[in-house]
Structure 1
Amino acid sequence: MENKVVRQLISNIISLRVGIKQFYFQRVKELDLDLTYEMVQVLAVLWREGELNQQDIADAVQKSKASITPLIDNLCKRELVERIPDPNDRRNNKITVTAKGFAYQAKVEPIQQEFLDKIIQDISMDEIKELNNSLVKIRKALY
């Protein structure tokens, strides 16, 4: 019985991840922004944190550095971010948002707010805190 409950929890977590991705994909598509969910993740980290190196971005979005490279390449092609050589380490580049990238922020932030509003619509903050604490415990158990 316990295994069944845990498997259902895992299934629900995976389903939630897919649902989040679909929500953002649909809203971004409606705005005709030509961005993938993964690109939005990278931009959101840079909007929040400012200039970062590729490894820091990969860590923040929980992807490998190698999988971040094509995302950054595509964001550079769209002129939303740019690579700036790191003066302290020639092997590294800093990734920074361009003016056009910041203009996208104004378009994407309402999507983020809509997403958050949908979550808190039927779930109390106490329930969210409890769920968050449980997810942290699960993550710690895995590492």
Structure 2
Amino acid sequence: MKNNCEVDSKHWEGFFSEMKDTLIFQMHRIHCVMFRVANRLIEEASVPVKMEQLPILMCIHSCGCISQQEIADMVHRDKSSVQRTVVVLEKKGLISIAPDKNDKRKNNLRTTKTGTFVALQIKDIMQKVETEIFSAFNSEDRLNTINTIKETADKLEQLKH
């Protein structure tokens, strides 16, 4: 007797054939491959950050001094998700948190020396991810792919939700 979590191959094949040509399914596949490659390279470099934490660390590094709300707005994540990542990054010694001098309800975040070093390592790793991901493409296909994805993202961001 099958439990509710078991799916036979007929159901999987049916689902896959229905979904394989959808944008969301293909974007998810790309996302999974990129995260797998990036997390492997990050782990090989002994960088103490996971892919999910990268946007926040890199945002803090790039901006120099930024509030949690500003980060949430920039990376399109909710404030509580940003807060959880900020706590982890602070515990790892990668960022510092200081109250804003003008608004006591707001905290300002900065990378520490270690955080800056890690952010620079991450930039190098992201270049390696790009190189590995696009190794199957010729330069024209690479450029066309990036432009198509960028144009698609730009158009989707303009939609009213």
| Greater helix fraction, Structure 1 or Structure 2 | 1
User: Within 5 A, what are the aligned runs for 1:47-58?
Assistant: 47-58=61-72
* 2:139 matches 1:125: no
* 2:156 matches 1:135: no
Find the counterpart in structure 2 of residue 43 from structure 1.
57
Compute the TM-score of the two structures, normalised by the length of structure 2. Answer: 0.75
Conserved 8 A contact 2:93-2:115: yes
User: Within 5 A, what are the aligned runs for 1:26-105?
Assistant: 26-105=40-119
Deviation at 1:7, TM superposition (A): 5.5
Compute the TM-score of the two structures, normalised by the length of structure 1. Answer: 0.84
Unaligned 5+ segments in structure 1 are: none
Deviation at 1:101, TM superposition (A): 0.6
With over 3 angstroms needed to count, the CA separation of the structure-2 counterparts of 1:10 and 1:67, relative to structure 1, is: same
For the aligned residue pairs, the C-alpha RMSD in angstroms reads: 2.2
- Which of 129, 151, 154 is the aligned partner of 1:115? 129
Following superposition, which runs of at least 4 residues in structure 1 exceed 6 angstroms of deviation? none
Letter in 1 for 2:155: K
Deviation at 1:44, TM superposition (A): 1.2
Find the counterpart in structure 2 of residue 17 from structure 1.
31
Letter in 2 for 1:27: L
Q: How many aligned positions are there?
A: 140
The share of aligned pairs that are identical, in percent, is 21
